[in-house]
Amino acid sequence: MKTLSHRFCVAPMLDWTDKHCRYFHRLLSKNALLYTEMVTTGALIHGNAERFLAFNTEEHPVAFQLGGSNPRDLAICARMVEEAGYDEVNLNVGCPSDRVQNGGFGAYLMAHPQLVGDCVAAMQAVVNIPVTVKSRIGIDERDSYEELTQFIDTVSQAGCKTFIIHARKAWLKGLSPKENREVPPLRYDVVFQLKKDFPELEIVINGGITTLDQSVELLEQVDGVMLGREIYQNPYLLTGVDGLLFGDDSLILRREQVLFELFPYIQAQLQQPNVRLHSMTRHVLGLFYGEYGARLWRRYLSENACKSECNEQILLSAFELTQKEI
């Protein structure tokens, strides 16, 4: 079975980490493991599977996140994911949204470790790529360490060797998904203890990580870190990942170099039916985060990239305005 490094991962983010976003992120880091948005088994089996599975070969290493709770359906989808060329399939056991709960998957599944184990076993039986699980540390009042270790033990015995743990519990009632990312307190200590109690497993920590220095510190206790919103807000942070965390300084592009590297990709994508410039430029709004001219950059792209017949020259115009302000 193929092995992947989870030392640094970019989190799956619904409506954000699509193929355009991942192509952009790959320009910034060769080694970060990228994740797709969560896609439900129903969408893959009954919807436009080709659209959901599409990705650029440049994105490797890239993992596909599935949402579902039916072992048979998950096995079918895992095979589709592998055949499409992805490097890993990840099961979402952490999303607390009402829609996901009503579907009987996501964080709801933390209360059903044996079912999660059955899902993992079914997927592993039909693929040769790693099957991993992303979860919380608990849900509602079911947040004891004993229940968490029971969950990890059950699912690991089914064959999962990599767990990505969002170090907060989830409230299935009363909090929105956004509030569930912010209100429940971070409990890094719980994830650290999991690694001590399950040293044979790969444990990746997620939640509240905002800097590479913080990542380095956390890696003294766990096997990997996963960042989400911070990367989306400040994507250029990724340029420090390869050197600091992987000892690879061969790729460090300046911001303007990243833009010029994007141009051929944008040109090619605009030749495809139903692809609009805005679907790509929305992912680069944070490229100049923290720099002079960042606000002008964001405003110009937001106001102009939605116009009909626009092309990659919009990016060049935005960059020139940014340089004038500097």
Give every CB contact of residue 283 below 8 A, 6+ residues apart in sequence: 16, 20, 21, 24, 232, 235
Residue 9's nearest CA partner among 215, 296, 171 is 215
21, 77, 95, 119: the catalytic one is 95
DSSP state of 186: P
Q: How far is CA 217 from CA 174, 221, 244, 245, in A?
A: 33, 8, 12, 11
The full DSSP string for 260-316 is HHHHHHHHHHHTSTT--THHHHGGGTTTTTTSTTHHHHHHHHHHHTTSTT--THHHH
Residue 259's nearest CA partner among 309, 208, 312 is 312
Phi, psi for residue 237 in degrees, rounded to 5: -55, -30
Q: How far is CA 191 from CA 117, 151, 163, 194, 324, in A?
A: 20, 13, 10, 5, 47
As given in the structure block, the two tokens for residue 204 are 């990746």
Only one residue has tokens 């110009």, namely: 300
As given in the structure block, the two tokens for residue 84 are 């499409």
Distance between CA atoms of residues 28 and 35, nearest Å: 15
In the three-class reduction of DSSP (H, G, I as helix; E, B as strand; rest coil), residue 178 is classed as helix
Would residue 95 show up in a list of annotated catalytic residues for this protein? yes
Positions marked active-site: 95
